[in-house]
Amino acid sequence: MIISAGRLGANMPRLRKNKKKTLILAAMALSSTVVISGCSADEEGSGDKTPTASVSRDGKEEGQKGSQAPPEAEENLAEVTSSSVTLTVTSAQRDSAGFLTVSGTVRNDTDGLWTGGDWLGDERELRRNGGSVAGASLIDKSAKKKYLVLRDTGGRCLCTKFEGGVKSGDSAEWFAQFPAPPGEVAEVDFQVGNMPPASIKLS
């Protein structure tokens, strides 16, 4: 198709206008692309780096795993030593029945067998208990009262009997039940055999 010079000249303003419009549209499209790409980059690069807690199967929230301090060892209420035998009191608890149970361990550091014979007590009624904690007592110094180990009608104590004794270097657990002192009494002395008195707090 042949276009005359006059017709071409007449159409030049329209061509320039269309070209300008095309350039504007192209520039707008390009800037939109840049804006969209920038948003995508921001969304991808702005991830939250803060660690979040997870939820366990039982519904409890779990934080980051870290080193945890080991549980503290239970403190002994008292510890006394005599003639290479060590008495440790670990618990002294009242109960709803009006009893107080004292318990702990005894360690034999002598060269021979320890039978607990001197822990039996001097009462004739207690002789059938053999080596045991039957001769133990609690002393409430403030009220000047002494509590003896509970026993049944046959004279058998509510306490540990050291059947066969404790070998050299070994330890054994023991317990003894007493009538519970009044609730306001918070501390008493535990005494048995030739061991020094052991001051214990009641719970």
The overall average pLDDT reported for the chain is: 77
d(CA 45, CA 40): 9
Q: What is the mean pLDDT of residues 79-86?
A: 96
d(CA 179, CA 94): 9
The H-or-E segment that residue 9 falls in is helix 5-45
Say if residue 182's pLDDT is above 60: yes
Mapping DSSP to helix (H, G, I), strand (E, B) and coil, where does residue 40 land? Answer: helix
Confidence bin at 203 (pLDDT 50/70/90): confident
What are the sequence ranges of the domains in the chain?
1-37, 78-201
Q: Lowest-pLDDT range, 23-27, 106-110, 144-148, 184-188?
A: 23-27
Quote the pLDDT of residue 28: 55
The H-or-E segment that residue 175 falls in is strand 171-179
d(CA 187, CA 140): 7
Partners of residue 166 on adjacent β-strands: 114
Say if residue 11's pLDDT is above 60: no
b (16+ CB within 10 A) / e for 57-77: eeeeeeeeeeeeeeeeeeeeb
Phi, psi at 107, each rounded to 5°: -115, 130
**Edge-to-edge order in the sheet of strand 198-201:** 145-148, 137-140, 187-191, 198-201
Partners of residue 101 on adjacent β-strands: 93, 177
Top CATH class, 78-201 = mainly beta
Q: What is the mean pLDDT of residues 172-184?
A: 96
